[in-house]
Structure 1
Amino acid sequence: MINAKYRRLVFSFLMALLMTFIMSFAITFLNLWFIDEFVYKWITAFIKAFFIAFPSVFFVAPFVNRLVDILIKK
């Protein structure tokens, strides 16, 4: 198992990985449908998006958690 001190890093990695995987597929599909180069273009978009999403999630997630704490009644 992974040490708890890496929770934020693991969360950010997995969230970015799953979201970019799904979103890059959806946007590539909506823009191109299923063309011969679909998989190549999708994977290329996924890789580029992941390298933007991972640091974004890592730095934005704490702010979003605080915002949710403010919005949700305890």
Structure 2
Amino acid sequence: MIPARYQHVLFGLILSGLMSFIVSGIATFRTVGGIDGFLLLWMTNWLPSWAVAFPTVLVVAPITRRIVARMVRPDPQAQG
């Protein structure tokens, strides 16, 4: 098991992997259609995308959390 202190990194790794996988697949399909060799082309587009997406998620996630915290009000029922 991975220590809990790395939870945010693991979350970013999985989130960025899944998101870049889906987005690169859609973009590749829209560009070339269902051609022979589509999967190979998709994977060669996805891996560099993930290499950019992962560090981006690690940097952007804390900023996004702060923005969201300013946009919502606390739920009085959640505080007990």
Gaps of 5+ in 2: 75-80
Highest CA radius of gyration, 1 or 2? 2
Deviation at 1:12, TM superposition (A): 0.7
Q: 2:27 — aligned with what? A: 27
Could you report, residue by residue, the CA deviation over 1:5-54 in whole angstroms, capped at 9, with x for unpaired residues? 00110111011110011101111111111001211110001001000000
TM-score (norm 2): 0.87
Q: RMSD of aligned C-alpha atoms?
A: 0.8
Q: 2:59 — aligned with what? A: 59
Quote the sequence identity (%). Answer: 35
- Name the count of aligned residue pairs: 74
Q: 1:38 — aligned with what? A: 38
Q: Which has the higher contact order (CA 8 A, sep 6+)?
A: 1
TM-score (norm 1): 0.94
Alignment partner of 1:17 is 2:17? yes
